[in-house]
Amino acid sequence: TLAGRARAPQVVSDAELAALPSADGSVPAHADVLVREFVDGTPLHQAERIPLDFFDALEELVRELHGCGVAHNDLHKEQNIVIAPDGTPRLIDFQLASVHAPGSRTLRTRARDDLRHVAKHRRRYLRYVRVVDFAPPAELLDNPPRAPRRKGAALVWRKTAKPLYNFVTRRLLGRKDGEARRETRSHWPQWGPPARGA
């Protein structure tokens, strides 16, 4: 049977379904099952208000994900980061996510990329978010944290191949990459009180 030949992941929408036997009669291990659920909230690029502790909580969430051996691999897209109604971060779109042995070299490399994207978002929003009721500490506005530098093949790609790719796809072919991103000149959100209390 197909179930005996391939161990492809299957998506279920209810945690109780994850414990049901597969077509071949075997019960999948908890770690082999992805449970999908609806996440209520506003994508980062559409948010009108961002809690002051949002990016700290986002980094904690991403590190927790890495602690489970999972790398998201698509956090450069603002629409994959959601602000829940209670102000806490949520991650969506795990299509490119990968599962690795905890502590493995591959996980460390991909985790570093995930965290680099979180740092880039943090820096960008600290630079542009309007200060009204609540303000980030002055030292963060004056000198926001820098994202870790790219190294090796990622640096070569960024400096050589990506500009050519962007020129061909965007200018010659007139296509966009589907990434929803807040434009620099657009309306920026306000800082709100910390979601977890101060």
Judge whether 21 and 27 are in contact, CB under 8 Å: yes
pLDDT at 124 (0 to 100) = 86
Rg, Å, the chain Cα set? 20
Burial of 18 (0-12, 13-18, 19+ CB in 10 A): middle
Along the 198 residues of the chain, how does pLDDT read in single tens digits?
334 434 444 455 566 666 777 778 888 776 666 667 788 999 999 999 999 899 999 999 999 999 989 999 999 999 999 999 999 999 999 989 999 998 899 999 999 999 999 999 998 888 776 554 445 555 555 555 555 566 677 777 778 877 887 788 777 777 766 667 777 777 788 888 888 865
- 192 vs 42: CA distance, rounded Å: 15
> Which of 195, 193, 85, 184 is CA-nearest to residue 134?
193
- 12 vs 32: CA distance, rounded Å: 11
Report the predicted TM-score, pTM, of the whole model to 2 decimal places.
Answer: 0.69
pLDDT at 91 (0 to 100) = 95
Q: Domain extents for the chain?
A: 1-37, 40-192
Which one is the CATH code of 40-192: 1.10.510, 1.20.120, 3.40.50, 2.40.160? 1.10.510
pLDDT at 61 (0 to 100) = 96
